[in-house]
Amino acid sequence: MTTIAILAGDGIGPEVTAQARRVLEALDLDLTFEDALVGGAAYFAAGHPLPPETLDVAKRADAILFGAVGDPRCDALERRFRPEQAILGLRAALGLFANLRPATLFPGLEDASALRPEVAREIDMVILRELNGDVYFGEKGFRTAANGTREGYDVMSYNEAEVRRIAVVGFEMAKRRKNKLCSVDKANVLETSQLWRDVVVELSADYPEVALTHMYVDNAAMQLVRNPGQFDVIVTGNLFGDILSDQASMCAGSIGMLPSASLSAWSGANGLYEPIHGSAPDIAGQGKANPCAAILSAAMLLRHSLNQEEAALKIEAAVSAALVAGARTPDLGGTMTTSEMGDAVLAAL
Amino acid sequence: MTTIAILAGDGIGPEVTAQARRVLEALDLDLTFEDALVGGAAYFAAGHPLPPETLDVAKRADAILFGAVGDPRCDALERRFRPEQAILGLRAALGLFANLRPATLFPGLEDASALRPEVAREIDMVILRELNGDVYFGEKGFRTAANGTREGYDVMSYNEAEVRRIAVVGFEMAKRRKNKLCSVDKANVLETSQLWRDVVVELSADYPEVALTHMYVDNAAMQLVRNPGQFDVIVTGNLFGDILSDQASMCAGSIGMLPSASLSAWSGANGLYEPIHGSAPDIAGQGKANPCAAILSAAMLLRHSLNQEEAALKIEAAVSAALVAGARTPDLGGTMTTSEMGDAVLAAL
Ligand SMILES: CC(C)[C@H](C(=O)O)[C@@H](O)C(=O)O
Ligand SMILES: CC(C)[C@H](C(=O)O)[C@@H](O)C(=O)O
């Protein structure tokens, strides 16, 4: 029996996750679902954004379907109680070091991109973001200097093992795509990046068929606007990946369309799947959210954690067909509600 | 007597700086120019990318017109000998903590932006980047962990004095523009950002007329594509500013159009002015580079270091007029050479 943990979270998380679950249920795959609280919802109910019971449910499950976390009512809380700590905690506790963020423009959505249609149409890439290291997880804190001045600090670092395991995923993905891997760093300023680059170069000897390039992060941010079609697989660290993948999502149209997978191995169990959008408190509970990113995250779940490639392709085709038939939530310029969009995908399935 | 240090540097640096100098000379302002070597050019001639004589020239001058540094032949050198160290060294030695990067779309250049014309046309912002702190200047290095694994690290930090002095510039600029200041950080993950945010909020009490907002850097990278017209002044740290300002430049059309100023005080002497583009070794020496960014940097020099607002406006109007008249280098879809573009601006002056 296959168990999916549903961690719907805050804001629009529950609304979009409900539609993704409907789609999974419609496929008759004999899945069991187990709900658990996470984020602000868990903090208010149980005093912690990632309660031990939720972590247990997540660990036991074959895969996790995650909604979104974030609640403005938690802004003033101590850092460890804030909703965002739940997702950081899950990534760390489950060793989810590889974050896959495909960015593609669905046919018919050219008008949703801020880029010119001829530029946007070329986009077909995966941003592979390291998710367990970097300045996210280094020592951090406040200190007071000798002269009494307050200072905040965070240590950025990568070691060679961390770089190698994410770079392997990058090369393997590139092999299965267009054999192009672009490693993004800031090696002209950062030693962390210099090590990153050195390790990626060493590893490239094992992948002679993959064309490896290096790009500084400032240039990459520019090229993602100028000519995003040049990229196939981008591999980068946690912080740069956070920035570039959100940027790329907008080039590809609405952030409401893009799924992600967080994996602890190149292929294997216990992945976490979530839309890349946040909890969007401003539109929560109004049925305005686009459930496609959540539905497409469910497709990635089937592909990467359950080895159900066919079912994954079915879902992706259904989303595509619904869009071609004109289904649009407000972020895409339409008027459909969240559940109507879910209906449209189910109808196409 | 007013002295301008000319640090033309590598690649296309000398070509574009020569045109900017012609424009300054044409204004009859009784300026003296002093040339000095910097970057790869200085390394090959004098063994160091920022020789002491160059630093002297820069310190003595009333302002510095800088070209670009970067030379692929230096890639394998030890970090301290690489061309980039020259610009980092100048920023540190001269206390240039405030980097102003205006991003505007010149009329007629809508087609040069990858964004839809209606989105690009709205762009009129300044990105204010802190330039003396952050992960750029913290402790950094390599170390070997207990288990023998190589590790690279860089310490990110800001203290309250550093944040306050750049935030003051941000509020003052906003007051002179549309009274809108957006502070960009990653306070949901970084303590450095939390301190940044706390200090900016404290300072905002002194500027009740300025509408202050905060945005996470990943969201900012997305919003700069989605709706760049929403921004007036953005203030951010060194690393995030590096990424976002390059990204914004591309939204605004060619990177060949955008100047920058690096200042050690909100207004005052000893600023450094440079195009935001790099040395572009691939097109160096071919007369293909767009000199407008360098020419507009000269205008910023007149405005910020020499208090010659009128002359600055004259240059900016001349660039605008040349473009309206159809002058275009290859980056803008035209065929003019670097010096022909200089001629066109001079003719319009
Ligand atoms: C919520 C936040 C901590 C998180 C991150 O920065 O990783 C988010 O932006 C993301 O990209 O998943
Ligand atoms: C050359 C490099 C060190 C520099 C930086 O990162 O600051 C450049 O990208 C810039 O933006 O001026």
Question: Distance between CA atoms of A210 and A202, rounded to whole angstroms?
Answer: 13
* A58-106 pLDDT, tens digit each: 999 999 999 999 999 998 898 899 999 999 999 999 999 999 999 988 8
In this structure, the answer to whether residues A229 and A321 fall within a common structural domain is: no
State the pLDDT at residue A114. 86
Q: Are residues A79 and A123 in the same domain?
A: no
CATH number of domain containing B101: 3.40.718.10
Are both A245 and A137 inside the same structural domain?
yes
Q: Is the dihedral of CA B94, B99, B100, B104 positive or negative?
A: positive
Q: Give the nearest partner residue to B152 out of A135, A136, A192, using CB atoms.
A: A192
Q: Please report whether residue B133 resides in a domain.
A: no
Residues A150 and A243 in one domain: yes
Q: What is the dihedral of CA A135, A138, A143, A146, to 10 degrees?
A: -90
Domain boundary among A201, A226, A251: A251
The helices-and-strands tally (H runs, E runs) of chain A is 12, 12
The residue-averaged pLDDT of B39-58 equals 97
Q: Measuring CA to CA, which residue among B276, B274, B268 is closest to residue B251?
A: B276
Our count of domains for chain B comes to 1
| Residue in A with minimal Cα distance to B186 | A239
Examine the pLDDT at A266 and tell me if it is beyond 90.
Answer: no
B72 belongs to a structural domain: yes
Residue A21 lies in a domain: yes
The pLDDT tens digits of the residues spanning B285-328 come to 999 999 999 999 999 999 999 999 999 999 999 999 999 999 99
How far apart (Å, rounded) are the C-alpha atoms in residues B281 and B220? Answer: 31
Last residue of a domain, one of A208, A232, A251: A251
Residues A289, A242: one domain?
no
Residue A216 alpha carbon, nearest atom of ligand 2: 9
Nearest to B152 among A84, A191, A255 (CB): A191
Per-residue pLDDT band for B341 (boundaries 50, 70, 90) equals very high
Asked whether residue A258 falls in the same domain as residue A246, the answer is no
For residues A275-301, average pLDDT:
96
**Neighboring chain A residues of B250 at a CB cutoff of 8 Å:** 222-223, 225-226
User: A27-36, A111-120, A328-337, B197-206: lowest mean pLDDT where?
Assistant: A111-120
- Pure H helices in chain A: 13-26, 40-46, 52-60, 84-93, 117-120, 160-176, 191-204, 217-226, 238-251, 292-304, 309-324, 338-348
Closest chain A CA to residue B160: A150
In single-letter form, the type of residue at position A46 comes to: A
- In this structure, the answer to whether residues A155 and A172 fall within a common structural domain is yes
Q: Closest partner residue to B188 among A82, A239, A255, by Cβ? A: A82
- What burial letters (b/e) apply to B193-207, b meaning 16+ CB within 10 Å? bbbbbbbbeebbeeb
Q: Atom 4, ligand 1: which residue's CA is nearest?
A: A84
Residue B212 lies in a domain: no
A236 with A277, same domain: the answer is no
Ligand 1 binding pocket mutation candidate from A10, A80, A82, A88 (most atoms within 8 A of CB): A88
Closest CA in chain A for residue B120: A114
> Model confidence at B337, in pLDDT bands (50, 70, 90)?
very high
- Assigned domain for B163 exists: no
pLDDT in tens, B54-79: 999 999 999 999 999 999 999 889 88
Q: How many CB pairs under 8 A join A and B?
A: 177
Q: Using one digit for the tens of pLDDT, what is the confidence trace for B218-274?
A: 999 999 999 999 999 999 999 999 999 999 988 777 889 999 999 998 766 679 999
Q: What percent of chain B has pLDDT over 70?
A: 99
Ligand nearest to the CA of B188: 1
Residue A269 has pLDDT above 90, yes or no: no
A109 occurs within a structural domain: no
A296 vs A114, more confident = A296
pLDDT band at A36 (very low <50, low <70, confident <90, very high): very high
Looking at the fold, whether A227 and A244 belong to one and the same domain comes out as: yes
- Catalytic, B218? Answer yes
Residues A88 and A157 in one domain: no
Percent with pLDDT over 90 in chain B: 87
Torsion, CA B233, CA B236, CA B241, CA B243, rounded to 10: -100
Expressed as residue numbers, the domain containing B85 is 1-105+255-349
Up-side HSE of residue B118: CA atoms within 13 Å toward CB? 3
A86 token code pair? 């739940």
The answer, for B84 touching chain A at a CB cutoff of 8 Å, is: yes
- Give distance in angstroms: CA of A188 to centre of ligand 2: 8
pLDDT tier, A251 (very low <50, low <70, confident <90, very high otherwise)? confident
Q: What is the mean pLDDT of residues A17-22?
A: 98
Q: Specify whether the CB–CB gap between A257 and A116 falls below 8 A.
A: no
- Report whether B97 contacts B90 (CB < 8 A): no
Catalytic residue among A35, A62, A246, A343: A246
Report if residue B231 sits inside a domain: no
Residue of the nearest CA to atom 10 in ligand 1?
A242
pLDDT tens-place string over residues B144-185: 988 889 999 999 999 999 999 999 999 999 999 999 999 999
User: For residue B313, what pLDDT is reported?
Assistant: 97
**Contact (Cβ atoms closer than 8 angstroms) between residue A96 and residue A271:** yes
The conformation of residue A115, written as its DSSP 8-state character, comes to B
- Are A308 and A346 within one domain? yes
From A71, A82, A84, mutation site for ligand 1 pocket: most ligand atoms within 8 A of C-beta: A84
* A242 is an active site residue: yes
Active site (annotated) includes residue A246: yes
Q: End of a domain among A220, A251, A282?
A: A251
Average pLDDT, chain B: 94
Q: Is the CB of A87 under 6 A from ligand 1?
A: yes
Rounded CA separation A118/A221 (Å): 19
- Told to judge if A43 belongs to the known catalytic residues of this protein, a careful annotator would answer no
Q: How far is the C-alpha of A234 from the C-alpha of A320, rounded, in Å?
A: 24
Q: What is the pLDDT of residue B267?
A: 63
Q: Which atom in ligand 1 lies closest to the alpha carbon of residue B216?
A: 9
Whether residue A184 is contained in a domain is answered as yes
Query: Degrees (nearest 5) of the Cα angle B36, B41, B47?
Result: 95
Atom 6 of ligand 1: nearest residue by CA position: A242
Q: What is the mean pLDDT of residues B188-215?
A: 97
Q: Is the pLDDT of residue A211 over 80?
A: yes
Sign of the alpha-carbon torsion through A296, A300, A301, A302: positive
